[in-house]
Amino acid sequence: MFGNVITASITPFDENLKINYKEFEKLIKHLEENSDSILVFGTTGESPTLTLEEKIQIAKFAKETTKLPVIVNISSNNTEKSLKEMEELEKTNVDGFLITTPYYNKPPQDALYDYFSLLASKTTKPIIIYNIPSRTGVDLEPKTIAELSKIKNIVGLKQSHSDITKISEILHLNPNFTIYSGDDILTLPALSLGAKGVVSVCSHIAGKMIKRMITLFPTNPDESKKIHYQLYRLFKVLFITTNPIPVKYALTLLGLDVNNLRPPLRKANKEEMEKIKEVVQELLTQVTK
**What pLDDT does residue 289 have?**
47
For residue range 195-230, what is the model confidence (pLDDT) as tens digits? 999 999 999 999 999 999 999 999 999 999 999 999
Task: Determine contact, residues 178/196, Cβ cutoff 8 Å.
Answer: yes
The yes-or-no answer on residue 115 being catalytic is no
Q: What would the pLDDT profile of 136-161 be if each residue is shown by its tens digit?
A: 999 999 999 999 999 999 999 999 99
Q: What is the mean predicted confidence (pLDDT) over 283-289?
A: 73
Q: In this predicted model, what pLDDT tens digit does every residue of 43-70 receive, in sequence order?
A: 999 999 999 999 999 999 999 999 999 9
Name the active-site residue from 130, 166, 211, 249. Answer: 130
Asked if the model's pLDDT at residue 288 lies above 90, the reply is no
Mean pLDDT (the chain) is 96
CA pair distance 133, 116, nearest whole angstrom: 16
SS (H, E, C) the chain: CCCCEEEECCCCECCCCCECHHHHHHHHHHHHCCCCEEEECCCCCCHHHCCHHHHHHHHHHHHHHCCCCEEEEECCCCHHHHHHHHHHHHCCCCCEEEEECCCCCCCCHHHHHHHHHHHHHCCCCCEEEEECHHHHCCCCCHHHHHHHCCCCCEEEEEECCCCCHHHHHHHHHCCCCEEEECCHHHHHHHHHHCCCEEEECCHHHHHHHHHHHHHHCCCCHHHHHHHHHHHHHHHHHCCCCCCCHHHHHHHHCCCCCCCCCCCCCCCCCHHHHHHHHHHHHHHHHHHHC
Catalytic residue (choose from 158, 166, 211, 248) = 158
For position 284, what pLDDT does the model report?
87
Distance CA 285, CA 268 (A): 23
Domains of the chain in sequence order: 5-220 (3.20.20.70)
pLDDT in tens, 181-199: 999 999 999 999 999 999 9
The verdict on whether 130 is a catalytic residue reads yes
The answer to whether 71 and 94 are in contact (CB under 8 A) is yes
